[in-house]
Amino acid sequence: MSNLADPGLLAAWLAARSIARGLALPVPDHGGWRVDTDLPGEIRRHVFAGPCSGISALAAAIHGPHIYIKMCGDGEQLLGLLPPRWQLCPGGYFMTHEGTLQAPDLPAGYRLEITTSQVITTARILAEDGGVAASGHAVEYAGVFVFDRIATEAGHRRRGLGRALMAALAARQRSASARRVLVATDDGAKLYASLGWHSESPYSTATIVQAGIPCSLSGS
């Protein structure tokens, strides 16, 4: 596992992620990319393929919260490029997958719904009472097939729903050459590794934290 991601792959993932979430496309900034998110708790994010001098220059000019710097590399490596007012958030992993994703049968009482609108595919697994047990999205764009916001509700875990959901999304991939990419939390990475995903790099996050408000991964 390298501490430096392929910049082109990271840029394509970030663009596809923005499309999946209805955000502005990333623009080059300080040697990385900026996404103006304008979300509650997040004004914008800056994403870098690895350590560079632009991170330090950028961080020195930021003095308020709700702006995130994200970098492929170890958290301490990122923190070393930042002024003391910055703090690390929980980390994740930039991951890729090759080969097939096996689709297990859904347990009795569950059913799958999947739709594609333009380039965004949405999958939901519904429980017998009609409630959403698992959900996720995928976008194929610029040579990547990106999985985003994959989640299984607490009362429905350890039943193979996540595997079934990811396989259903992967079945909508049009180009065999598109690379499958996602960013996982620390816990999620363990599940994805069991499904054949490979960690390309740690994915670290830092921000200026408001007093009394804990830092979060802020949506990867």
What average pLDDT does the structure give for the chain? 94
pLDDT of residue 210: 78
> Per-residue pLDDT for 217 more than 80?
no
pLDDT of residue 124: 98
Confidence tier at 3 by pLDDT (50, 70, 90): low
For the chain, give the DSSP string.
Answer: --SS--HHHHHHHHHHHHHHTTPPPPEEETTEEEEEEEETTEEEEEEESS--HHHHHHHHT--SSSEEEEEES-HHHHHTTS-TT-EEPP-EEEEEE-S----PPPPTT-EEEEEEETTEEEEEEE-TTS-EEEEEEEEEETTEEEEEEEEE-GGG-SSSHHHHHHHHHHTT---TTSEEEEEEEHHHHHHHHHTT-EEEEEEEEEEPPPTT-----TT-
pLDDT of residue 216: 64
pLDDT tens profile 117-161: 989 999 999 999 999 999 999 999 999 999 999 999 999 999 999
Confidence tier at 219 by pLDDT (50, 70, 90): low
pLDDT of residue 218: 55
pLDDT tens profile 76-119: 999 999 999 999 999 999 999 999 888 889 999 999 999 999 89
**Mean per-residue pLDDT for 168-175?**
95
| Share above pLDDT 90 across residues of the chain, in percent, rounded to a whole number | 86
Return the higher-pLDDT residue of 93 and 214.
Answer: 93
Q: Which residue has the tokens 């870098």?
A: 48
Task: Please give the backbone phi and psi of residue 36, each rounded to the nearest 5 degrees, phi first.
Answer: -85, 105
Beta bridge partners of 57: none
